[in-house]
Structure 1
Amino acid sequence: MPSELPAFSVLLGADFAGKSSVMTELAATRPDWRLLSTDGEFTKTAFPLVAQLRRHVVDDVLPELGRSYSPEFLAALLQTAVIHLRDRIARCGPGTPVVVDSYYYKILAKCRLAGVGENPMFAWWRSFPRPRRIVYLEVPHRTAWQRSRHGTLLNPLEHAGPRPTEFTFESYQRDLRKIMLEETRDIPMTVIEECGDVARTAAAVRRALADEDR
């Protein structure tokens, strides 16, 4: 594995900020960019093992977290996504714009919120090359809650407490945002407020990253 990764940018945001939709829109409108994500649409064909591990985390591990499985076990599984993204970045050719969905920042924040202490894995992740810029999607709590279909789409790593309510969702997302911004405070960041639809948001992301190349 190369000691240095190609230049890349990160698309970041709390749950239901719209990152997956924006990544899909970017893939359709900028085929010359490399869009890297562990989302099912980006892994289920080319990287089925990654997609399968993600499903097992949601379907098998999270319902038994704290009983059959420890937070550290969860973190060990989630690390596979971190390494997968790092490896895919390393395989991108020079000069190709690379945009990564969340990198390790969101996974690290969720591990901490799940009760994982300052695990040695985190120090390793933090030693990875930094992105040149982060584009952060900022959406109002009410918008994110509506996108979650009022909690019916949430998994246990997207809300606080034993069951999803608007209050537990907002509380968790507030803490998640705080940790992610702490982890990325020394990296140039462009914040994009809610734009109304996916096409406009993706256009704003394209402009933010085009400015980086000037």
Structure 2
Amino acid sequence: MSANLPLFSVLLGGDYAGKSSAISRLAGGPEPVRVVSVDDRFLTERHALIGRLRREVVKDVAAPDGAYSPDFMASMLQTAVVHLRDQLLTAARTADGRPLLVDSYYYKILAKCRLAGVRENPMYDWWRSFPQPRHVVYLRVAPQEAWRRSRRGRGLNSLEHYGERPDRMSFERYQTDLEKLMWDEIRDLPVTVLEQQGSPGRTADAVREVVCHDGV
């Protein structure tokens, strides 16, 4: 890793693994963690475009009606990937001593693009050339629990299941394939797997223990 880039960790996991709840708690507390994410709550007003683009991609571009090609969808999702990379570069200039945690980085988006039918291409190679984390924290949750958290499919979008209409089988098959592809991307990195915790607070505490006491 280049000397002018910060050391950072990545928080990764399947859909409804609890990442959003964890990073919200990690941003506060007695040992605050600096979070880089494309979730709306972590986007500044000047970067609100990223959130709007992400929502429109999920709602319209990724819809299973064939109006847009998988390649077009990937091109739109690339805005989020590049934004995360840019925020890492910004963090190098404004380091404040807090551990730096990136939400999913490019790993999850790349995996979802592959599941949507986007084959290996130079765009992926570019993403893979981005700085790699010191550590990946992987949240693993039981498929039945993830399904429950999705309100049994009512909260799902088209990039979280197979087919036009979600059911438990299409959701669990998608999540199994998503996990495999994400592991393809991180297999050569140090990874700590955190199994399902009893509450969002305990999940956040477990992640904080890793990222705050790993020398990051």
Counterpart CA distance in 1 for 2:201 and 2:122 is 40
Q: Secondary structure at the match of 2:153?
A: coil
Counterpart CA distance in 2 for 1:8 and 1:168 is 34
Q: Which residue of 2 aligns with 1:71?
A: 70
C-alpha distance 44-59 of structure 1, shift in aligned 2 (>3 A): farther
Once the two structures are superposed, what CA deviation does each residue of 1:88-121 show, in whole Å capped at 9, x if it has no partner?
0111134441100000000000000000000210
Question: What is the deviation of 1:3?
Answer: 8.7
Counterpart CA distance in 2 for 1:82 and 1:4 is 20
Q: Which residue of 2 aligns with 1:165?
A: 167
Q: Which residue of 1 aligns with 2:124?
A: 122
Question: What is the deviation of 1:29?
Answer: 1.7
Question: What is the deviation of 1:129?
Answer: 1.0
Q: Which residue of 2 aligns with 1:134?
A: 136
Question: What is the deviation of 1:33?
Answer: 2.5
Question: What is the deviation of 1:211?
Answer: 3.2
CA contact (8 A) 1:33 1:99 kept: yes
Structure 1: state its 5+ residue gaps.
none
Q: Which residue of 2 aligns with 1:182?
A: 184
Moved more, 174-183 or 21-30: 21-30
CA contact (8 A) 1:44 1:51 kept: no
Question: What is the deviation of 1:32?
Answer: 4.3
Counterpart CA distance in 1 for 2:154 and 2:11 is 25
Counterpart CA distance in 1 for 2:107 and 2:132 is 11
Structure 2 residue 89 is the aligned partner of structure 1 residue 90: yes
Question: What is the deviation of 1:83?
Answer: 0.4
Q: Which residue of 1 aligns with 2:53?
A: 53
Alpha-carbon RMSD across the aligned residues, in angstroms, is: 1.8
Q: Which residue of 2 aligns with 1:81?
A: 80
Q: Give the TM-score, by structure 2 length.
A: 0.93
Question: What is the deviation of 1:60?
Answer: 1.7
The AA in structure 2 aligned to 1:177 is E
Structure 2: state its 5+ residue gaps.
none
Q: Which residue of 2 aligns with 1:206?
A: 208
Question: What is the deviation of 1:197?
Answer: 0.6
Once the two structures are superposed, what CA deviation does each residue of 1:22-57 show, in whole Å capped at 9, x if it has no partner?
010101225743101111222263521011101111
Counterpart CA distance in 1 for 2:31 and 2:53 is 27
Counterpart CA distance in 2 for 1:18 and 1:51 is 19
CA contact (8 A) 1:82 1:104 kept: yes
Question: What is the deviation of 1:210?
Answer: 2.8
Aligned residues: percent identity? 53
Q: Give the TM-score, by structure 1 length.
A: 0.93
The AA in structure 1 aligned to 2:58 is V
CA contact (8 A) 2:26 2:32 kept: no
C-alpha distance 41-153 of structure 1, shift in aligned 2 (>3 A): same
4+ runs of 1 displaced by more than 6 Å? none
CA contact (8 A) 1:4 1:129 kept: no
